[in-house]
Amino acid sequence: MGRSCRGLDRRRCAVALGFLLCFFSALDAREIESRHDFFSQIYNHTVATILVEYASAVYISDLTELFTWTCSRCNGKIEAFEIVSIIVDVKNCLQAFVGVDKNLNSIVVAFRGTQEHSIQNWIEDLFWKQLDLNYPGMPDAMVHHGFYYAYHNTTLRDGILDGILHAKNLYGDIGIVVTGHSMGGAIASFCALDLAVNYKVKTVQLMTFGQPRIGNEIFSSYFSEHVPHAIRVTNRNDMVPHLPPYYYFFPSKTYHHFPREVWIYDIILGSLVYEAEKICDSSGEDPNCSRSVSGNSLTDHLCYFGVDLEAETWRACNIVLNLDTPNLLTDHNGNFVVYRSDISPFIKSPMENYRSLQSS
């Protein structure tokens, strides 16, 4: 506890879900089903409250604070994190990091959301995103090219793969968890799919917060086949998961979420408001989860589990780097990777990365 989002004055009483469901199960028969799901491996609330802090920390623009893990968001549940590398694509204003969470015993890969002048503009643009790219190797699977290329056609992909290889060399063959918020969640999804499909990583888990839709229904069924351990957490009336729009009367042409959503919502009892979570069905578009309410809140987009999910300040792409011993690798576009001094990263060709991941 102890965290709360700035500018959020709603009072809410969050209680342990298990307790809540036992206590109020008589109110709503559906909750009994969720209780069953909650204790299976589909969704772990504790893990969600840890990963959301990584999705928040990756917004920090002071790379020295991030690299030394001393930033204001780099404490609490994510204190025991060993950073391996930070990857920055300057041209496209993208940022990600790779490291190891010793408590989770997993490699964590986190992607930052948009850091443009105005998140409102970014959200408005989402209305008009087209399904304009065929996902390679998946017949009839369509995605939005912008999110796809943000991962595949920037510094991110090679930087992430390199970081994962180093993490595996340093810490052994442990699992991989990929996370991100908003646009960072969309990029994280393409990363998890890439690891599963192109690098045959069987242990990849994905958990995103407030992510938009990224592809059509055929894409989403491929996605859940390859990345079965995927959770999209949606907070109450967060508008972004409602975008680009879903047209149920136009199933072959519409965007369609991949499963599985976990929806945070309020149970109101008199003057008390309780935070609850619903584990949604395996369709990706459960009508009784976030789709049962209108997506009209920006506030709900920027705060998950009491954790701030936005840049510290909204302005033009901002990168602060002031390392004494710059373990810094740059390319001719000015993009760079900051890496631990006991590793020697180099951007390998995808084929080399492939061999290395296979043998580990």
Ligand X SMILES: *[C@@H]1O[C@H](CO)[C@@H](O)[C@H](O)[C@H]1NC(C)=O
| Minimum distance, C-beta of residue 240 to ligand X, in the bound complex (Å) | 22
Select from 11, 19, 26, 46 the one that contacts ligand X (CB under 6 A): 46
Between strands 261-269 and 272-279, the pairing is antiparallel
| Minimum distance, C-beta of residue 159 to ligand X, in the bound complex (Å) | 15
The smaller minimum CB distance to ligand X, of residues 46 and 359, is found at: 46
Choices 41-49, 54-62, 251-259, 318-326 (CB under 6 A): range interacting with ligand X: 41-49
User: Nearest-5° angle of CA 358, CA 359, CA 360?
Assistant: 95
Give dist(CA 177, CA 191) in Å, integer.
10
Choices 43-51, 73-81, 123-131, 339-347 (CB under 6 A): range interacting with ligand X: 43-51
Select from 25, 44, 134, 198 the one that contacts ligand X (CB under 6 A): 44
The smaller minimum CB distance to ligand X, of residues 39 and 346, is found at: 39
Select from 47, 142, 196, 240 the one that contacts ligand X (CB under 6 A): 47
Three-state SS at 243: coil
Residues of 157-187 as b/e, b for ≥16 C-beta within 10 angstroms?
Answer: bbbbbbbbbbbbeebeeeebbbbbbbbbbbb
| Minimum distance, C-beta of residue 271 to ligand X, in the bound complex (Å) | 26
Strand spans (E) along the chain? 13-14, 81-89, 94-101, 106-111, 133-134, 142-143, 175-181, 204-209, 230-235, 261-269, 272-279, 303-304, 307-308, 328-330, 336-339
| Contact string 263-292 vs ligand X (x = CB under 6 A) | ------------------------xx----
| Minimum distance, C-beta of residue 179 to ligand X, in the bound complex (Å) | 14
Tokens of 308: 């701030």
Q: Is 104 in the site for ligand X (CB under 6 A)?
A: yes
Give dist(CA 65, CA 296) in Å, integer.
34
Select from 10, 18, 27, 30 the one that contacts ligand X (CB under 6 A): 30
Three-state SS at 22: helix
118-157 binders of ligand X (CB under 6 A): 149, 153
CA dist 184 → 2, 55, 56, 58 (Å): 25, 8, 10, 9
| Minimum distance, C-beta of residue 339 to ligand X, in the bound complex (Å) | 22
| Minimum distance, C-beta of residue 324 to ligand X, in the bound complex (Å) | 31
Residues that bind ligand X (CB under 6 A): 30, 39, 44, 46-47, 104, 149, 153, 287-288
